[in-house]
């Protein structure tokens, strides 16, 4: 099941919070950072797709 954008953003926020929490371990930081970066790129792509969908809908309505 594909996650919604808001679910991904919530997950990203949780991942970022880890860096400020008591569970932070330098040994895990690189891996956690890479995972957070990948998730951020997914969110960015999802938002871009959504923006394109909105433009298509706007164009359809402007033709009428």
Tokens of 38: 């990948």
Contacts of 17 (CB under 8 A, 6+ apart): none
Per the CB < 8 A criterion, the answer to whether 24 and 18 are in contact is: yes
Q: How many other C-beta atoms lie within 10 A of the C-beta of residue 39?
A: 17
pLDDT in tens, 23-42: 999 999 999 999 999 999 99
Per-residue confidence band for 60, with pLDDT thresholds at 50, 70 and 90 = confident
Query: What pTM was estimated for this model as a whole?
Result: 0.78
CA neighbor of 33 nearest in space, from 62, 6, 45, 41: 41
Given this model, what pLDDT does residue 56 score? 83
């Amino acid at each position: 099941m594909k996650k919604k954008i808001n679910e991904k953003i919530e997950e990203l926020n949780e991942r970022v919070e880890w860096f400020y929490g008591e569970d932070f371990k330098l040994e895990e930081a690189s891996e956690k950072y890479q995972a957070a970066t990948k998730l951020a790129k997914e969110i960015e792509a999802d938002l871009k797709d959504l923006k394109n969908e909105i433009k298509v809908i706007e164009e359809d309505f402007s033709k009428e």
